[in-house]
Structure 1
């Protein structure tokens, strides 16, 4: 692999304009296709095999006018006067004439008459609407009320499903990343190159996402998450290649040779690191929800393109820039010693000198950070978590104030009258009404064929309240007939929470197993692979603990633009795990590649850890700082789920690149010594030979120490001794 990558890097550096022309062609084609035939992202929340989905299917079959998306139009007089029934009737009539509307309720007045709630039921699910067409139509239909100076707010699925990305998150991340790279590389040219490369890959990847949206459902949030991950890893991958390129230039290599060496060494690490991210993303397919599969598709496409752009565009642009990639003082021969590198090496030696205290303290800190996860409660985010400036949040608050918190999440009970006698319905309504936690129950509504009925139940508590889900569980288990199916917002969300809780461990096992296999094959070191998996699990758990404290406990929620504490979004844990485990492996691969490179060259287990950390510490710290900056930008996004993902990933990368990668990993590797590279003889025989790194010409020409000539399999009892073998 290294030879082919070296040839690729040399060819790109020798003919940079051809490479640039090829990428411009890729961008023109993908962007052009996305603009002409690309689809629009939309969510698919169908959860097959759940009671809520069964209820939705029954409504679609027997009550099509009640089976689709819902919307709520709230009309309020700020002066406190009673609303004019004529205006409300006109608004209701105009809404009833809108496309795909199946049922419009009579305006429901509040107790004081200054507010009215109109519930709209559509014939199609919310995913069938494109862009803001449905919301725009509702605003137009409510014109007679707003023209009278009345406050009109929109809630429900249709309004809450609208995403309006501002681009602020991306801009903040890009500016911060550029500043960090200038400080790290000391050259504006070198700093701008990784950003250009990442944007090329990101542009092509995002275009492919919209092309995929024409043939499959892509979540409306998926492009944002894919941008977040793609921008971060794209800059990191390019930065790693640029760092190796400038390192080779400092040793006196020509531009083409430096590009070839950087692509062969750092390029192979990029491919391995990117592959771990891609493999981790496959785990989202086991979440049991179509929306998660779409997150995997979108992020997979973006990471794939930024990885490809890194190993092709970086050597091409480096070939064009040449020695301008170096700081001016170095080009002029004024500075030859890199002080920051020596500081990193001194730090590495300090960690290796006292591995036990470092390992124990690092582990305790991780466990303390992870502790809040034991009390984590997950719940999909609704309008109650949105900023107070949003119309959906204002509608939510008006409904809660005028009709009770439970009016924002009524339970919809669909009853098959072919299995349940209609005569039992009145008694059932009274039984439900008497249940603790029930605020109101509507009379049964039957369809034209008299073979199905619907009952609406309003809890006394809001959708996010645990007491509401307790009521749902009690109704399903003890009150409602076995052939009744409870659906609606709360029921769907509760079933999603249960499904994700069940599938989280499937995703965890798959991602960890695949990562273990990949690292074992690449480094031929099962001990290192197991240690890496354990460290990554600890860092992810610590990130979970931090977002639980910030969002659920409210320790800093207001700083992130939230008015109050909220449960952790159900979408976040699995999504964060799959992405973060892959990103953690990035830094593991970057570090281990250099450690193993020095180990194979010297056979010195202790020294190779110090030299590997010294060689990668600066670039890992810079790369992590860039990724943290990118993720913090997304933590300022108005969408709560994106905000949580951005915060969680920023914290996880910060923990992983500092506490784990710079303290725990070198400390534990120092303690294990030569046993880091132990491999059983039988496993050594069956594993394929894959070279992760190649050595610099100086290292290859140096005489190998005795330890490097030892071959695996020299141990006894069927085990290989822990000595280096060029695998």
Structure 2
């Protein structure tokens, strides 16, 4: 791996113009494809194996007109205080508005509230159901404008008009989230590198990579069903990891330049070392995200696969485009302001230490105290998880004052809270001798159940063997009472089948949401086990240690627990909700916990690999365990800190989004990065490593012999290059590291430690001195 990436880095550096033009051509091609794509996204759920999905499949066959995929809107009217909608003037106004709606674009049907029983008992609230000939994504601007016009005319006549349903266009929210994240990332990069050129490269390559990924996902919507949140999550993760991966490679490239290597050689060595870690880290993120498809929820599958694709593009960009762009900058990437140059000079003379080094020394001097405080703190933050409730969002969590929220509250006031979430009961009487009697029996049983407000008579299909019953709960759709009612209705199936031969199923939006939440809750622990198991195996291969992977997996569990605790405390309990703009507390979105587990796993392994590989690098070269920890921080702490700050800023920027799911994902990911990077990886990890000492890197001999050598830190590459250089010195002629690739005479004869302490190598060192140094280091290692 390391040797291949070394060659790839040098090739991209030499052929930089070709590589750059190829990526620009790819961007142009997917851009044209995205603009001409006719695909659309969907927010519908398909959950195979659940009763609600089975009922939906039956309805699509037996009631095709009822299960049509056309969008719908619910227009709600409320009379002024002291008036009724049934008065002559108000009734005439509403009738006129309904006639105007029927002539609107793409409208299939508009119900009449006065003849369809859609007026409340008080007579002050009524609604009409508008159905469209096309799906939500295909509704055009004229149809949206018609709804807005009716609302404006009704308000002008003194009525309160509000609208709900999937055909209602959401208010435009803030779209500056990505720009805010990029701005913070730019500041962090400038501080880290002290160079505008070095800071600009990760941003440039990240934007290009995200553009390719998001536009490719747009093209994919024409061929497969994609969730509307897929592109947003792909953008969020793709932008964050692309900047991080570029940051690690650029940092290593600058270290190699300081070691005295020519730019082309530095690019190859940077890719052969840091690039290997990028490949492994990217694979862990992609595996965790793609693994979401095993849950069986289409929305979750599309989000996971789209995000995994964005991460794959970020890795490809880092391995090809980044070394090519480095070829255009050369040594100019080393230019830094006077203050930064003075800071590096102080560190090289030993007169100043980086904050990361000072922190590592503090932790390794007080490992027990630091470990106890960190674990206790994360444990306390995880306590709210015990009251975790899962549900899918509806109009009850819309922003107060929005037309959807007003419509929801108005209907609850006029018809009861359960009116916003009616249950659809399906009676399959194919095996019953008397279908009508079976349906009547089902209606009677449902009426006797608690929390039932209204049960409407059964409606049969054309063949008369499948009945449709509508039951309205007394409680709100997301309440526990409604969940219990769904269970109670389903429990009637056994006795109904025994008495009549018919089967009873419950579906509808409310029942489907309950089934989705239940399925995701049941899948949470098994998926967590799969992810942790995967972490143990992958880290065992990388670090060739048993305790280091175990420590990493336990740290990941702490990060997940604390993250979910924070999300529950804010979105469900309402703590600090005003600070981040949460208007209404509600159960946590069902897909969030599993989504966070997949994403946090990938991010946690990123930091584990980038930080601990440098510790292992120092340890295998002879450093004592505690000193290896400090040296690992010397090389990686500043870069890992910058990477974490960048990710936090990118994710936190999505708190400005109006969509509850995106807002909660943004907070969850930002909190996860903070906990995992700063508390787990940069505090708990060095404390545990200091306590374990040499035992941290212990591996049974039999396991060491059968395990493949992944060589993430590029140790074999460094040995090969050092040996070839030593051979070249003895022969007095240049030696080729690989076919067609020569090692420049100015290259550092020994690449051990990958970047050292940042001091420039003395390229005029005598050959004999270089060979002696090589012998000393190999002796220390052996």
Is the deviation greater in 17-26 or in 583-592? 17-26
Q: Does 1:588 align with 2:608?
A: yes
Show the counterpart of 1:357: 369
Paired position in structure 1 for 2:485: 471
Partner of 1:316: 324
Alpha-carbon shift at residue 85 of structure 1 (Å): 3.3
Task: Describe the shift of the 1:144–1:201 C-alpha distance in structure 2 as closer, same or farther (beyond 3 A).
Answer: closer
> For the structure 1 residues 704 and 457, does the alpha-carbon distance in structure 2 shift closer, same or farther, using more than 3 Å as the test?
farther
> Alignment partner of 1:323: what SS?
helix
CA distance in 1 between counterparts of 2:439 and 2:557 reads 51
1:444-523 aligned within 5 A: 444-478=458-492, 481-482=496-497, 483-523=503-543
Is this contact kept in 2: 1:68–1:122, CA < 8 A? no
Aligned counterpart, 1:76: 77
Q: 2: distance between equivalents of 1:119 and 1:283?
A: 40
- Of residues 618, 640, 659, the one that matches 1:620 is 640
1:85 pairs with one of 91, 111, 121: 91
Q: Which runs of 4+ in 1 moved over 6 A?
A: 330-334
Asked if 1:329 corresponds to 2:401, the answer is no
Following TM superposition, by how much is the alpha carbon of 1:606 offset from its aligned partner in structure 2, in angstroms? 2.3
| Cα distance change on mapping 1:706 and 1:27 into 2, 3 Å | closer
Shift of residue 353 of structure 1? 1.6
1:78-477 equivalent positions in 2, closer than 5 A: 79-80=80-81, 81-83=83-85, 84-89=90-95, 92=98, 99=106, 101=108, 104=111, 106=113, 108-120=118-130, 128-133=135-140, 137=143, 140=146, 143-144=149-150, 146-148=152-154, 149=156, 150-159=159-168, 166-326=174-334, 327-329=336-338, 336-338=345-347, 342-418=354-430, 419=432, 421-426=435-440, 428-477=442-491
> Offset of 1:389 from its aligned partner?
4.3
- Counterparts of 1:703 and 1:604, CA distance in 2: 19
**Aligned partners of 2:47 and 2:201: how far apart in 1?**
44
DSSP 3-state at the match of 1:336: helix
How far, CA to CA, are the matches of 1:335 and 1:631 in structure 2? 31
Q: TM-score, normalised by structure 2?
A: 0.84
1:424-473, CA deviations, whole angstroms, 9 ceiling, x for partnerless residues?
54454344334321222222223343322222111121112122111211
Gaps of 5+ in 1: 711-727
Seen in structure 2, the aligned counterparts of structure 1 residues 706 and 191 have a Cα distance that, compared at 3 Å, is closer
CA distance in structure 2 between the aligned counterparts of 1:707 and 1:671, rounded to whole angstroms: 27
Check whether the contact 1:245–1:262 (CA below 8 A) recurs between aligned residues: yes
Cα distance in 2, alignment partners of residues 145 and 208 from structure 1: 38
- In 2, the alpha carbon distance for the partners of 1:565 and 1:340 equals 49
Q: TM-score, normalised by structure 1?
A: 0.91
Distance 1:689 1:304, change over 3 A: same
Give the match's secondary structure for 2:586.
coil
Q: Which residue of 1 aligns with 2:664?
A: 644
User: Shift of the alpha carbon at 1:636?
Assistant: 1.9
- The one-character-per-residue Cα deviations of 1:599-655 (angstroms, maximum 9, x if unpaired) are 121152222122112221111111101100011001221100111111011001000
The CA distance in 2 between the partners of 1:683 and 1:4, in whole Å, is 26
Residue 347 of structure 1 deviates from its aligned partner by: 1.5
Structure 2 unmatched runs, 5+: 498-502, 719-747, 753-772
User: CA 1:136–1:571 in structure 2 vs 1: closer, same or farther (change >3 Å)?
Assistant: farther
User: Which residue does the alignment assign to 2:50?
Assistant: 50
Structure 2: distance between partners of 1:681 and 1:296: 38
1:565 counterpart = 2:585: yes
- Classify the secondary structure of the residue corresponding to 2:163: strand
CA distance in 1, matches of 2:39, 2:165: 24
Offset at residue 10 of structure 1 (A): 2.4
State the 1:709 CA deviation: 4.7
SS in 1 for 2:76: strand
CA RMSD of aligned residues (A): 2.7
Paired with 2:269 and 2:694, the residues of 1 have a C-alpha distance of 28
Partner of 2:61: 61
Relative to structure 1, is the Cα distance of residues 409 and 397 closer, same or farther in structure 2, using a 3 angstrom cutoff?
same
Shift of 1:333: 7.7
Distance 1:330 1:703 in 2: 38
**Cα distance in structure 2, aligned partners of 1:575 and 1:117:** 37
Per-residue deviation, 1:101? 4.2
Q: 1:555, 1:163 → 2: CA distance?
A: 26
Asked if the contact 2:78/2:126 (under 8 Å) is kept, the reply is no
Q: Distance in 1 between matches of 2:36 and 2:607?
A: 39
Question: Are 1:703 and 2:710 matched, yes or no?
Answer: no
Q: Deviations over 1:559-596 (max 9, x none)?
A: 22222211111010111111110111000010121111
Partner of 2:756: none
Worse overlay, 553-562 or 326-335: 326-335
- C-alpha change, 1:331 and 1:360, in structure 2 (3 Å) is closer
Contact 1:95-1:104 within 8 A present in 2 as well: no
| Whole-angstrom CA distance in 1 between matches of 2:186 and 2:625 | 36
**Larger Rg, first or second structure (1 or 2):** 2
- CA–CA distance in 2 between the matches of 1:320 and 1:530? 43
- How many residue pairs were aligned? 705
Counterpart CA distance in 1 for 2:339 and 2:7 is: 28
CA contact (8 A) 1:370 1:546 kept: yes
> Tell me, what secondary structure is at the counterpart of 1:66?
coil
**1:406 aligns to what SS in structure 2?**
helix
SS at match of 2:345: coil
Instruction: Say whether the 8 Å CA contact 1:386–1:562 is kept in structure 2.
Output: no
- TM-fit CA distance, 1:26: 1.4
Distance in 2, Cα, partners of 1:332 & 1:538: 39
Any conservation in 2 of the 1:91–1:142 contact (CA below 8 Å)?
no
Supply the distance in 2 between the matched residues of 1:621 and 1:667 (Cα, whole angstroms): 18
2: distance between equivalents of 1:542 and 1:634? 20
Say which is worse superposed, 517-526 or 102-111, in terms of deviation: 102-111
Q: CA deviation at 1:545?
A: 0.8
Asked if residue 632 in structure 1 is aligned to residue 640 in structure 2, the reply is no
TM superposition shift of 1:502: 1.9
Structure 1 residues 699 and 253, CA gap change in structure 2 (3 angstroms): closer
Provide Cα deviations, 1:247-281, integer angstroms capped at 9, x if missing partner: 23333333223222222221111111111101111
Asked if structure 2 preserves the Cα contact closer than 8 Å seen for 1:200 and 1:306, the reply is no
- 2:30 aligned partner: 30
Distance change (3 Å), C-alpha of 1:413 and 1:221:
same
Classify 1:346/1:356 alpha carbon distance in 2 versus 1 (closer, same or farther; 3 Å): same
Contact kept, 8 Å, 1:280 with 1:515, in 2: the verdict is no
When structure 1 is superposed on structure 2, of 64-73 and 682-691 the one drifting more is: 64-73
Checking the alignment, whether the CA contact within 8 Å between 1:189 and 1:325 is kept in structure 2 is yes
Give me the whole-angstrom Cα distance separating, in 2, the residues matched to 1:668 and 1:299.
33
Query: Which of 712, 717, 737 pairs up with 1:692?
Result: 712
Instruction: State whether residues 366 and 538 of structure 1, in contact with CA within 8 Å, keep that contact through their aligned partners in structure 2.
Output: yes
Q: Name the counterpart of 1:724.
A: none
User: CA offset at residue 143 of structure 1?
Assistant: 4.6
What displacement does 1:549 show?
0.8
CA contact (8 A) 1:411 1:456 kept: yes
Paired with 2:420 and 2:284, the residues of 1 have a C-alpha distance of 42
With over 3 angstroms needed to count, the CA separation of the structure-2 counterparts of 1:141 and 1:357, relative to structure 1, is closer
3-state SS of the aligned residue for 1:110? coil
Answer yes or no: is the 8 Å Cα contact 2:429–2:438 preserved in 1. no
Q: 1:164 to 1:691 in 2, by over 3 A?
A: farther
**Which shifted more, 20-29 or 574-583?**
20-29
